[in-house]
Structure 1
Amino acid sequence: MKSLVSAIAVVSALFVSQASAQDVASLNDLEFAHIAYTADNIDIRYAHLALAISTNPEIHAFANTMISDHTAVNAAALGLLDKLGATAQDNFFSQALNEGAEEIIDDFSKLRGAEFDVAYAANELAYHRTVNGLVENTMIPNIENDEVRALFQQGLEIFKAHEGHAEMMVKAVNK
């Protein structure tokens, strides 16, 4: 079980190694927007799977928060893109995120009970740490549009809280 949890956490973090931070930093604001939108949608998918598989009330509460918060941030992003008359642009990194998510979802769908809860919690922590680091250290410093940067900064505050919640959830399911 520990090897499966480790493998899932590694897969979650691997998408960053598929491209260097320098490669991501060279993307434009619309590509950053697509990465963020993709990352949010992936976490929403993980949450729906958690609601379907887990019976743990803490996992359900976290998953419902992920659905609510990530949906709200995506709605704000789409609203800003509409206001700017722009469309998010698919890119190599968004595609890598989706490929990694498919593997994780496939692995998750085979688990039940405490095994699922431990794997889901570990993945959520690794996923939020990885994405938050990328947003904070690579994307935000390279975003050109002030409104886009402000939206990313607001989202980062929310997702850092998710990271803290995920850390507590990992401790709770590993007791």
Structure 2
Amino acid sequence: MKLFMSAIAVATAMIATQASAQDVADLNDVEMAHVAYTADNIDIRYAHLALALSSNPDVHEFANTMIRDHTAVNEAALGLLDKLGATAQDNFFSQALNENAEKIIDDLSKLRGAEFDEAYAANELAYHQTVNELVENTLIPNIDNDEVRALFQQGLEIFRVHEGHAEMMVSALNG
């Protein structure tokens, strides 16, 4: 488990070192939208993995919540982009997120039982902490379009709840 926690820390550090906050802040609104869409899809992938590998009902409940909420936010984002006549633009940071997620998914896939559950919960907590901090302190302050900013703010409220739920899950699984 400690090895996996180290992998999470390394992945988070990799995200931070591959792009400075200023680099991410310099993305335009549709690039930021792609970052958010990518981050949501990554968490949906983590959740599907949890449903496949865990037999813990609490982990399943959390994973189903992740799928439902992140899918809803992505659908709202795509609807807003369509309304604005825009398309999310892939960028260096979305690509870095996906590369890091592949490593984490590979590591999680090797675990079973309580070890998987603990690692999944720890990853969810670290992931939501990292993404929420990025959204709140880097993306939202640099979004130009008011409707896009409002959508990010609504998403952040939901994902703060996820962070709290993940924190409780980590405590319960490690207690």
TM-score, normalization by structure 2: 0.97
CA distance in 2, matches of 1:124, 1:4: 12
Structure 2 residue runs of 5 or longer lacking an equivalent are none
* 8 Å contact kept, 2:8–2:126: no
After superposing on structure 2, the runs of 4+ consecutive aligned residues of structure 1 that deviate more than 3 Å are none
Equivalent position of 2:132 in the other structure: 132
Alpha-carbon deviation of 1:126? 0.4
Residue 174 of structure 1 pairs with residue 174 of structure 2: yes
CA distance in 2, matches of 1:10, 1:174: 21
Alpha-carbon deviation of 1:8? 2.6
Alpha-carbon deviation of 1:13? 4.9
Name the CA shift for 1:165/1:13 in 2 (closer, same or farther; >3 Å): farther
Aligned pairs for 1:67-146 (under 5 A) are 67-146=67-146
Alpha-carbon deviation of 1:12? 3.9
User: 1:117-153 deviations in whole A, cap 9, x for unaligned?
Assistant: 1110010000000000000000000000000000000
CA distance in 2, matches of 1:173, 1:71: 26
User: 1:9-49 deviations in whole A, cap 9, x for unaligned?
Assistant: 43145312211001000010000000000000000000000
1:97 match: secondary structure: helix
CA RMSD of aligned residues (A): 0.9
Aligned pairs for 1:48-67 (under 5 A) are 48-67=48-67
* 8 Å contact kept, 1:122–1:170: yes
- Residue identity opposite 2:106 in structure 1: D
* 8 Å contact kept, 2:7–2:104: no
Structure 1 residue runs of 5 or longer lacking an equivalent are none
Identity rate, percent: 81
CA distance in 1, matches of 2:13, 2:79: 29
Name the CA shift for 1:90/1:16 in 2 (closer, same or farther; >3 Å): same
TM-score, normalization by structure 1: 0.97
Equivalent position of 1:23 in the other structure: 23
User: 1:31-86 deviations in whole A, cap 9, x for unaligned?
Assistant: 00000000000000000000000011110000000000000000000000000000
Q: How many residues align?
A: 175
* 8 Å contact kept, 1:13–1:130: no
2:130 match: secondary structure: helix
Equivalent position of 1:155 in the other structure: 155
* 8 Å contact kept, 1:29–1:145: yes
